[in-house]
Structure 1
Amino acid sequence: MSFRPGYQRASSTNLKAAAAARPLEGKLAIVTGGSRGIGAAVARNLASKGASLALGYTSDSSSEPTAKLASSLESSHGISVLAVQADMGNANGPAHLISSAKNHFAHPRSGKFQIDIIVNNAAVSLNMPVEEVKAEEFHRQYTINVLGPILLLQAALPYLPTDRSGRIVNLSSVSSSLGFHGQTIYGGTKAALEAMTRTWARELSERATVNAVNPGPVATDMYGATSPEFQKQMKPFMQSAPLQKVRPGIDDEQFVKDDEMAGGRPGYDHEIAGVVAMLCGEDSGWCTGSVICANGGFRFSP
């Protein structure tokens, strides 16, 4: 696998030797929502495999944690990481993320710049019954969750590979197909993202594979903000999911305490990141247009 100068910052002979065997060595990945949760976990996984990263984040409060994550990944894995404040809900945000990545990672002499991996992870959610849905909230969620990935792909298109080696992974959700109460908007945005995944798999067939993953409940801020009533409706799914049974002494103590109410444990962010990373490697080259279950059996693929 070729290495593009300027992407790696190896600091020792041992680090360089170890890096030579990494499957994503010399690749560049764009990860939106990269400051925390699943996005940060994906960044850690891809960095450990040798990929350099451009991490998009939105709020001022995320600036410091994203900068710390970037510094940690650089020192631990000898790769280059750029943190970019770019709002996926702003029409100019996606293009700003791509242009910032180009300015940072382009070869200093030839100007060569290629984006190998895109992980569309940034998303927002707010549950409400249909009678309470407001146009403003509809537009907010669809702008970030659906239009944001479209605009990001448009900005990235000139820089995708031309040999099918590119990888695009969209973070969907079981909410796209299970019809949870209160998710008229959010579930719709994720269903739209899955439809876009199939379309892009055809349109970009000579450039990149395009797949989605559909996590169920994951121990992130978004899941933590859901109501007890919402979590209660998921209990039967949790109880029947093969991998979500709580394991005392292994799983987080809070999950053990909450087991009676929840019916099982949510996923860990690194578990979702592992599935995403599988779709980013060379071995996934014969998989495209698919929704891959990353939910412990919360929902089986049809």
Structure 2
Amino acid sequence: MEFDGQVALVTGSTAGIGREAARLLALGGATVVVTGRDAARGAETVTAIEAEGGRAKFIAADMADLGSVRELAEAVGEVDVLVNNAGIFPFASTAEQDVETFGQLFDVNVRAPFFLTAALLPAMAARGRGSVVNVSSSITVMPVAGGAVYAATKAALEALTRTWAVEFRGTGVRVNAIAPGATETERALALNPDTVASVGRQSPIGRAASAREIAEAIVFLASPRSSYVHGEILFADGGRTLG
């Protein structure tokens, strides 16, 4: 299997896209580190992975807390695959955006992946191999009213993706990002199922993605199958960004 002997860390992997990515990486042979704030959901995810014959463990982490992010990096040690998936997306109009939520969005969506990557990527480079996949969003090029700050955080993550690709050139480490469109995750459907379905119908494919479909693309970017893909943003949005 393509991830045999490798350790994969997937942030925000107790539900949605992150959970599916963790499952697929484990099915590919990786030992997966599942992270999130909810220990019960983390245990359920580990149990589900093990039931499929995979290997996984759970480490609690709060990506809004920089100390927790650093503790996670220390607890995990060396990894071969890092998927920066954890993110939050409270929407508000620009005029109504409060400072506290603004800060939380940047803390979770930008600061956490920045310092987690900063802690783990040098060891990858020293070993001459590794893959980082950042989870962005198609909102960076398909603006949505009320999503100004969320879009800004994801645009920052895409900028980091390109910069890290250049900064760690020649080390054997690849850094890419995926930008999903409308996706049927538990959290998105709980917030506004009609919007998810409506945005999905606007794509040439004509529907929203499943979490599994986005996870498949993440695993592709993490795998040797994409060995010559570096510094790219892969839009998995059913072609909606085509216009």
Deviation at 1:159, TM superposition (A): 2.5
Q: 1:29 to 1:213 in 2, by over 3 A?
A: same
Residue 181 of structure 1 is aligned with which of 127, 145, 150? Answer: 145
Larger radius of gyration: 1
Summarize the alignment of residues 141-156 of structure 1 with structure 2, pairs less than 5 Å apart: 141-156=105-120
Match of 1:63 in 2: 39
Match of 1:275 in 2: 217
Summarize the alignment of residues 40-51 of structure 1 with structure 2, pairs less than 5 Å apart: 40-51=19-30
Match of 2:136 in 1: 172
Residue 116 of structure 1 is aligned with which of 41, 60, 80? Answer: 80
Q: 1:214 to 1:42 in 2, by over 3 A?
A: same
More strand by percentage: 2
Instruction: Find the residue that maps to 2:83 and give its secondary structure.
Output: strand
Q: % of aligned pairs identical? A: 31
Match of 2:93 in 1: 129
Residue 11 of structure 2 is aligned with which of 32, 37, 60? Answer: 32
Amino acid aligned to 2:74: S
TM-score, scaled relative to structure 1:
0.75
Asked whether the 8 Å contact 1:165–1:282 carries over to 2, the reply is no
Q: 1:285 to 1:190 in 2, by over 3 A?
A: same
Match of 2:52 in 1: 76
Summarize the alignment of residues 1-302 of structure 1 with structure 2, pairs less than 5 Å apart: 22-58=1-37, 62-79=38-55, 81-102=56-77, 114-162=78-126, 164-205=128-169, 206-227=171-192, 231=195, 235=198, 238-244=200-206, 265-300=207-242
Match of 1:257 in 2: none
Aligned partners of 2:192, 2:48: CA distance in 1, in Å?
34
Aligned partners of 2:127, 2:66: CA distance in 1, in Å?
30
Amino acid aligned to 1:74: E
Aligned partners of 2:93, 2:186: CA distance in 1, in Å?
21
The root-mean-square deviation of aligned C-alpha atoms, in Å, is 2.0
Aligned partners of 2:111, 2:7: CA distance in 1, in Å?
23
Amino acid aligned to 1:64: A
More helix by percentage: 2
Amino acid aligned to 1:281: S
Deviation at 1:41, TM superposition (A): 0.3
The count of aligned residue pairs is 242
- After superposition, the C-alpha distances for 1:111-136 in whole angstroms (9 at most, x for unaligned) are xxx31100000000111111101111
Asked whether the 8 Å contact 1:165–1:285 carries over to 2, the reply is no
Aligned partners of 2:59, 2:191: CA distance in 1, in Å?
28
TM-score, scaled relative to structure 2:
0.92
Q: 1:225 to 1:130 in 2, by over 3 A?
A: farther
Q: 1:287 to 1:226 in 2, by over 3 A?
A: same
Deviation at 1:207, TM superposition (A): 4.2
* Runs (5+) with no aligned partner, structure 2: none
Amino acid aligned to 1:67: A
Q: 1:299 to 1:75 in 2, by over 3 A?
A: same
Aligned partners of 2:14, 2:236: CA distance in 1, in Å?
21
* Runs (5+) with no aligned partner, structure 1: 1-21, 103-113, 245-264
Deviation at 1:165, TM superposition (A): 2.6
Instruction: Find the residue that maps to 1:77 and give its secondary structure.
Output: coil
Deviation at 1:85, TM superposition (A): 0.8
Asked whether the 8 Å contact 1:27–1:115 carries over to 2, the reply is yes
Asked whether the 8 Å contact 2:13–2:34 carries over to 1, the reply is yes
